[in-house]
A and B are shown apart, each in its own frame.
Chain A
């Protein structure tokens, strides 16, 4: 038995903390001025509080990345809508940029539209975007501000020519079929003998089902619950 890594990365914690919805400048300042030993080992109440807040931010970013469903716009732009609790939209776009390095990516949220072209930085547009219905792209109105923005991003990406050679193209013909395919696949993965609604709701609280369009398949009705389910 050997001891492993144990300390908390101060840089990581201080990068996450200001993104928390309830973080204020005073709190961040107090944490910055803490004894590094207490912060590293979480031996003080403030250190633990800051760590829990940083973890909440990281968790929100993680779930936003996971539960986000993407649409493909003009074969060039991958985009989706999220409604995170904390300020993590730019983290999600960075993560998408690594995952799809040849594509422009955009994430819409109540705080605006965060987007990036291949190899570029993340930018924010102050557009208020309503959640799209059933996860479909919200740029239905061709002349709407979101469509104009998306067209501009696509043009920039096409100018960069990054996706010229990429094999990643939307060749589905009809976008809606993928929702059906996913729904069919999702239903097959459930083992009824192991039904555990408590575990399901702990991993996917209702808040996420309503905050992330495109999770229709996961909106599982409670079915025949037993008293054990509420234990």
Chain B
């Protein structure tokens, strides 16, 4: 059946794009919407055997692509397929009504005329929003050749839009995609997206980007510098990392696959940057001399290198508490708020109830708040009994 074949080919083509979110963070009321909503908490309708959440109908409008990105399967794909806007809208509606998916993630190959390709994507989304009156979640990719008007229309129609950077700078990008110019094709469009963010009601879930980690031999330091700039300069909502995996038939098929832990450590660093608010100089403490992250928890590494001594949860500030491994922003806030309300931490058990992972935090904590001295464990003592003992 033609439709199943299209879904197979265009679904395959879109599977490397990442978007974990299906919600806007706040309720969005779309005029005249009769079905669908952007739930506040994201819902995962299913999971694949690789453990990834499948919540969005993630497909390409077309896999016809005239680019020469060396890591991507689309330019060398033998079977070329395209969805018409009507066809895609009908399939999506059928799946959404049966609760198979939570929203649409629409991307596309980039044919010779990227403006026309972007226009087809926009027509699909307009069909869903205006004719079908869909009020749910839509993530729309911006193609490198899209015009400013198209970017603004996408910002009005979609809940989230994104344009992939793929590499930390123009030099690295040119190594893996010689036809893309980072400044003109990507950063300029990110600037337009930033302008849209200033307008009320546009892109409620913000904009994101994605990096192919390890395809252009970049370092983790370079990647994180770029991410840092994106958050500051372009008001990026978040960055996604995808460890490079060679795809047979592509020019980079012989390049070594990147270990998945590298991607995981980058996400941890990104988390420390966005959620914990770690300043940049602190984050750099987790790097080795080559600018790469070792396969260790970066928060633990930073804590070892920067904490002067054990932290007392009864006196420490929020900034200090949040640096302790096993204590996240919420637990740190809880501890501070509890103290402000006259409470006092008297045992590790109490900290555990408040959300602290004591197994990790214990070496970094000291208590002067009434704990039994005999059982008190300080960082020095921990080092003595574990690291020193092991040596």
Contact = CB atoms under 8 A, between A and B. Distances in A.
Interface string A147-169: 00000000000000000011110
Number of chain B interface residues as a range:
35 or more
A200 B277 contact: no
Contact of B46 (A48, A101, A194, A204): A204
B391 interface: no
B51 A199 contact: yes
B93 interface: yes
A188 B156 CA distance: 30
B138 to A, nearest CB: 15
Given A3-B318, A68-B99, A182-B100, A188 B15 contact: yes
Interface string A168-203: 101110000010111011111111111111111011
Interface residues of A, number: 70
A184 B355 CA distance: 41
Contacts of B8: 184, 187-188
A14 interface: no
B260 to A, nearest CB: 7
Contacts, number: 193
B318 A2 contact: yes
B88 to A, nearest CB: 12
A170 B98 CA distance: 10
Interface in B101-144: 131-133, 136
* Nearest 10 interchain pairs by C-beta: A199-B51, A6-B333, A188-B11, A194-B50, A3-B333, A48-B353, A1-B277, A41-B338, A6-B334, A196-B51
Interface of A: 1-7, 37, 40-45, 47-48, 62, 65-72, 78, 80, 95, 98-103, 165-168, 170-172, 178, 180-182, 184-200, 202-204, 215, 217-218, 220, 223
Given A41-B335, A41-B354, A184-B11, 10 more contacts: A4-B330, A45-B353, A48-B354, A66-B45, A102-B35, A181-B4, A189-B54, A190-B49, A194-B51, A220-B49
